[in-house]
Amino acid sequence: MRLGIFGGSFDPVHFGHLLLAECCREQCQMDQVWFVPSSVPPHKQGNSLSPVASRIAMLELAMAGHEHFAVSRFEAERGGVCYTVDTLRHFHGQYPEAEMFLLLGADMLADLPNWREAAEVCRLALPVSVNRAGVPEPSLEPLGTLLPPERIEEIRRHRVEMPLIGLSGTAIRRRVAAGQSIRYQVPPAVERFIEVQGLYH
């Protein structure tokens, strides 16, 4: 099984997340993409997040009917700060035969050397960087201190390109708080959930 792991806060999930996952699934021929909503992201400690149950519910609404997408509750049920390396070890232990891919935006790839046990992260799952069309590809040079040349070349071969779509959870939350429309930025079912639950006001 070729398995894509897509972590994040997903507060809320939006069409940019879904398009990134679908481009990776198609271009890297993945069998499944698992969205892994974090309980407390290491880089967002102290930030106020929506309850993880709400973020999971929005993900399930967003991907309803997509047979290749699923939500993993591992980090949510574990609770607290959970590092990517811990999550990948868990999945590797459960599915040792699976070929795992870690879905990353190009900006996150540049920061990868600063992650906890970054070399182990790259051993457990191949980082798949997503470049937006028309934007220069990030340099892989910073990974040279972590990985052998053949692994870096493998990362280069698996780069994914997606259309330029400038959406962010932060901007969507601000629009909701200001009473502005988020139509066509999130799936309709997610938009209704946000309204009914009174999120981000």
pLDDT less than 70: residues of the chain: 41-47, 133-134
Is this prediction's pTM over 0.85? Answer: yes
What type of residue sits at position 143? L
pLDDT at 47: 60
DSSP output for 91-114: HHHH-TT-EEEEEEEHHHHHHGGG
- Ranges of each domain in the chain: 2-167
Nearest Cα residue to 82 out of 5, 17, 152: 5
pLDDT at 133: 66
pLDDT at 33: 98
**From 3.40.50.620, 3.60.15.10, 3.20.20.70, 3.40.50.300, which CATH number describes the 2-167 domain?**
3.40.50.620
Q: Note the Cα 117 to chain centre separation in Å.
A: 19
pLDDT at 184: 97
Strand segments (E) across 141-184: 160-162
What type of residue sits at position 109? L
pLDDT at 41: 63
pLDDT at 164: 83
pLDDT at 140: 87
